[in-house]
Structure 1
Amino acid sequence: MRIIAGRNRGRVLRAPEGAATRPTAERVRQALFDMLWHAPWGGRTVVQDQLVLDAFAGTGALGLEALSRGATHVTFFEIDRPALAALRANIAACKEEPRTAVVAADATRPPRARVPCGLVFLDPPYGQGLLPKAVTRLDAAGWIAPGALLVAETALDEALDLPGFEAVVSRSHGAATLHVLRAPGLAGC
């Protein structure tokens, strides 16, 4: 697993042993960032200069890809100890410590945000119904900026219902579906 593009292109990322962490595949990340940059509703500013939240971060591949492509800062939420160790090692390997914050917190019970984020990645364990709960609580805690883009990864057969959030697009890739949604309100931060 490696960073696909940007200043850290080719940097190899570490993943913890076992099946507890399911990193987003390189080809899926490539498809996601191509879509974010080139879709009519997207553009480079969707990533560049954004404050980003990578909830359920695992290895941090999504947030680190965003940093490599010009995001200003990424906050990572993760609670699994082996995943936290891999995440911290990946941040150090990319030399991104100054532009990141690692929070050992559950995305369904987040701390209060200091500043809302314009781009939010949500890649929870499949089939546990964590997305609606996490989005509701992240929004209430101030993590989601008005008009922010949310990128949620679910299992192929998993439904996603987030009242108040506009469904922008969904794309299936193998066993996963990527959903892009827009938060209510003005354009993201």
Structure 2
Amino acid sequence: MTETSEAAPAAEDARPVPPAAPHRIHRAWFVAAVTFVTIIGAAAFRSLPGLLIDPLHAEFQWSRGTIGLAVSINLALYGLTAPFAAALMDRFGIRRVVAVALTVIAVGSGLTVWMTAAWQLLLCWGLLVGLGSGSMALAFAATVTNRWFTERKGLVTGILTAASASGQLIFLPVLSWIVTEHS
């Protein structure tokens, strides 16, 4: 019997190692960017009624207390809705809950064009915009962070938490100028 040994692969079988692929941005960062923009928009809508107190009082002769009640309902629902929105995101998915929340914000703010009575302000801005923007609160940021990131959770949580303040910082001066110039 002759002893056989494995021969080294022939030179023609040796393939060159392909160059490393260029570093691509993971799609989780795109999800975080969309979440950031969404939270900025929700924050802008949530903070708008404070600017509209005087124009609403002048236009409809509603008391500042009535307008303040709508703002209070909005803020209360903003805080109370977040835990339930997080549970709904776990059960039905982030996309569905966010789509419904953005639709509720759009309907609530869109209906204000036709409001003529104080109860309509309470319904549109207090209830609808409060529920919608509350669903886009910090629970949304935490859910996205926990689902999409294993590393850099602290960084992403900080960025998404800053989105709410950034929305007010970006939009309040612009909205204030619009209210001042066009009321």
State the TM bucket, normalised to the shorter chain.
Answer: under 0.3
Task: Pick 1 or 2: higher relative contact order, CA cutoff 8 A, min separation 6.
Answer: 2
More strand by share: 1
Q: Which has the higher helix share?
A: 2
Q: TM-score, with normalisation over the residues of structure 1?
A: 0.20
